[in-house]
A and B are shown apart, each in its own frame.
Chain A
Amino acid sequence: MIEIAVPRVDWYSIAPVVVLVAAALLIILFKAIARDRVRTYEPALLIGVLGLALCAFFLTKQWSVVIDDGPADALAHMIALDGFSVFISVIVIIAAILMLLLSSEYLVARGIESRPEYVALVLMSAAGMVVMASANDLIVVFVALEVLSIPLYVLAAYDRTRARSLEAGIKYFVLGAFSSAILLYGVALIYGATGTTSLEGIQTFLATRVLIHEGTLLAGMVLLLVGLAFKVAAVPFHMWTPDVYEGSPSPVTAFMASATKAAGFAALLRILYTALVQYSHDWRQLLFALALVTLLGGTVGALWQTDLKRLLAYSSIAHAGYILIGVQAGTTQGLQSALVYLFVYAFMTIGAFAIVVALGGTDDVHAISDLRAYGRRRPVVAGLLAFFLLAQAGIPPTAGFIAKLGVFAAAAEAQSYALLIAGVLTSVIGAFFYLKVILTMYAAEDEQPVPDELETAELETGTPHPPVGLPVAAVLCVCVAITIWIGVLPTIIIDFARDASLIL
């Protein structure tokens, strides 16, 4: 007889994932059994948010366990349970909740079908990200990558009546599959080079041996980097980003920009800082180059964008560059700063996309020129957009500044002076395109007056623009509050990240 010694299942460690998947399945089941007349979307949303909340609850439990007992692994070393995983998971969960809030009216307004499944897919993807955050084995990394990506392919293409959405889906899918094949090949090569896929195993192996033939390992490392760099949208693996961000439904884009980036960086950080820590000298060189071109590419590419979402996409590329500065440092400060950055960026970008949602518009096309004179026409929306853009530009006293300060500090500490200079300079260039949007809203009134009919129509109807719904308003409030709060009193988040940087 075959004896299968099933490993002890540590339920605490997998509870967040289980909750999310269960909630997703519950939604599917509910949809399947509910009669046609029954409203399914609102309950699905409710289940989804509750599931996420429950997941958050378990995460707090995990946090206290980790803080008290230190990091641990679980399920045959496949799961790493440490502050890092909880931190990233928190970002993911918050992003998912905010994203669902953003979606709530958006889907209805756009007439997007299969709304309960949408919620389920978001939950599944979030589950994948949580798994990613705690993945302690390259196989889990790969599978988690797929679990988080495949729902996103679907979500990107979710607005099936819109060609742009479908296009975003197919592009994301083709390139995603391509890159995950590359990543997988990297896993294979590293497996060949070290004989294991376990991150700890690799670390131990590399720490105890001196490899004479490093070729396979290095090639594997390169391919892993390519695959993950694709996910975090680093140049030159970024080209999907503008198209997909622009085409996808705005809440999905917000989710991709915040949570997916966090998950991608989670994997990157964990692999580099544990498994390949012996090779930090090498990957720091690679990341140096990647960070440099990412900063430049993202910033420069954004300069002449005419669509707001596309602009935010390029800015998200640039932000990946900043985070890469932190990663590149290869120090605790670097890790910590990257975490803070991810956290802060999630709120800044979701806030910005919340504005995109609030702007309305029929076809999800958001030409910047349409924002003309919004400073007067929709002062609150314009003001908030300006706020988020300035935060992304890293202007104090917003959280964006604290985030950038962290990664720059990491670069300074690690003596990556060239990156430091590149970072500060690109943030200046970056300010240009953020300011361009703001100028359009605030300073363009005289040159081309807003057509009178439009103006009078706005005035007559009283509610010239679709009113901003309560959920979106709530999201905006949260994002503004957090962005200012961290900007003024960053201690809490920095301490949180410091505890989280005790990686397994």
Chain B
Amino acid sequence: MLPEVVLFYLFGGLALAGALGVVLMRNPVHSALSLVGVLISIAVLFIIQDAQLLAAVQVIVYAGAIVVLFLFVIMLLGVDREESLDDPLKSQRPLAIAVGVISVAAFVVLADANWTSGDLATRGALKQARTSNVEAVANSLFTTFLWPFQLTAVLLVIAVIGGVVLARRSHLPAREELRELEEQDQLDEQDSEAGKT
């Protein structure tokens, strides 16, 4: 196995590159694919840090389910049009980047390379003599974290209901307001096409 540092830089770099890809790709499909890259790189980083179970779940749930869902929606709705490069909100980009840089720098400065100050193993050690890491985590999920664990079940139910309710095909016609907006959009489109020609 390669030394941790190499793996870190390799996959860390990949992940960052992928993240930049998500942000910078003009086509949402490309963004989604970059996201897959990020997720898998992070899964690798998990493995390096002895979180094998999480790495697996990461790949299965994230890369396997979530990103696929994204792609599915993109395809379903046909919204893979590329975004134009210039931002109508002139100050948005510089400000966003400034805020982002300041925040990141702030975190780094605050931590001052001394991120961790807590007590060790307050809720059970991760690395135990006999049992595996997977075991420890699983154990905690059903004991210490039983309550939030149960709640996640509720969460999933909610997601199902919500998804169904919203995405279900409606029997009702759009109201005036929507029609107007659509007409407006069409007019805008015509205008822009006219502008192009």
Q: Which A residues lie at the B interface, using CB under 8 A?
A: 2, 4-7, 14, 21, 24-25, 28, 75-76, 78-79, 111, 113-114, 117-118, 120-121, 124, 127-128, 131, 137, 139-140, 143-144, 146-147, 150-151, 153-154, 157-158, 160-164, 169, 189, 191-196, 198, 201, 205, 211-213, 215-219, 363
Contact = CB atoms under 8 A, between A and B. Distances in A.
Given A131-B151, A139-B145, A143-B152, A154 B166 contact: yes
B161 A120 contact: yes
Contact of A78 (B145, B164, B168): B145
B92 interface: no
A196 B124 CA distance: 11
Given A205-B119, A218-B110, A160 B146 contact: no
Contacts of B107: 219
Binding site secondary structure of chain A:
helix
Contact of B155 (A79, A120, A146, A189): A146
Contact of A216 (B116, B147, B159): B116
Contacts of A2: 131, 135, 138-139
Contacts of A79: 147
B90 interface: no
A150 B147 contact: no
A216 B112 CA distance: 9
B173 interface: yes
A75 B146 contact: yes
Q: Would you list the 10 A-B pairs with minimal beta carbon distance, nearest first?
A: A195-B118, A215-B110, A154-B162, A195-B119, A78-B147, A213-B114, A196-B122, A194-B118, A143-B148, A75-B147
A120 B157 CA distance: 10
A194 B51 CA distance: 21
B158 A5 contact: no
Nearest to B106: A219
Nearest to A127: B154
A192 B115 CA distance: 7
A216 B119 CA distance: 14
A147 B117 contact: no
Contacts of A5: 143
Contacts of B118: 191-196, 205
Contacts of B123: 196, 198
B177 A363 contact: yes
B91 interface: no
Contact of A143 (B142, B155, B181): B155
A161 B175 contact: yes
B194 interface: no
B146 A7 contact: yes
Of B106, B131, B174, B175, which is in contact with the most chain A CB atoms at under 10 Å from its CB? B175
A127 B146 CA distance: 17
A150 B162 contact: yes
A118 B111 CA distance: 45
A457 to B, nearest CB: 21
B77 to A, nearest CB: 13
Given A114-B168, A140-B147, A143-B151, A4 B112 contact: no
B5 interface: no
B84 interface: no
Given A215-B114, A219-B106, A163 B177 contact: yes
Contacts, number: 160
A153 B162 contact: yes
Given A121-B158, A143-B151, A150-B159, A6 B119 contact: no
B172 interface: yes
Interface in B43-57: none
B109 interface: yes
Interface string B167-179: 0101111110110
Nearest to B134: A2
A121 B177 contact: no
A113 B173 CA distance: 12
6 contacts: A7-B144, A143-B148, A143-B151, A160-B172, A205-B118, A211-B117
Interface residues of B, number: 49
A192 B181 CA distance: 49
Contact of A151 (B122, B139, B158): B158
B41 to A, nearest CB: 19
Contacts of B157: 24-25, 28, 124
Contacts of B95: none
Of A150, A218, A363, which is in contact with the most chain B CB atoms at under 10 Å from its CB? A150
Contacts of B166: 154, 157, 160, 169
A193 B117 contact: yes
Contacts of B148: 78, 137, 139-140, 143
Of A139, A169, A217, which is in contact with the most chain B CB atoms at under 10 Å from its CB? A139
Contacts of B154: 21, 124, 127-128, 147
Given A163-B177, A211-B117, A216-B111, 5 more contacts: A6-B142, A6-B143, A128-B151, A150-B162, A161-B173
A218 to B, nearest CB: 6
Contacts of B2: none
Nearest to B182: A163
B170 A216 contact: no
Nearest to A362: B175
Contacts of A189: 115
B183 to A, nearest CB: 13
B6 interface: no
A253 B86 CA distance: 36
Nearest to B121: A195
A144 B142 CA distance: 18
Contact of B158 (A137, A147, A164, A194): A147
A151 B135 CA distance: 33
Contacts of A118: 165
A235 to B, nearest CB: 17
B124 to A, nearest CB: 11
B146 A76 contact: yes
A166 B38 CA distance: 31
Of A137, A144, A161, A162, which is in contact with the most chain B CB atoms at under 10 Å from its CB? A161
Of A163, A169, A212, which is in contact with the most chain B CB atoms at under 10 Å from its CB? A163
B117 A111 contact: no
B190 to A, nearest CB: 21
A157 B148 CA distance: 27
B106 A114 contact: no
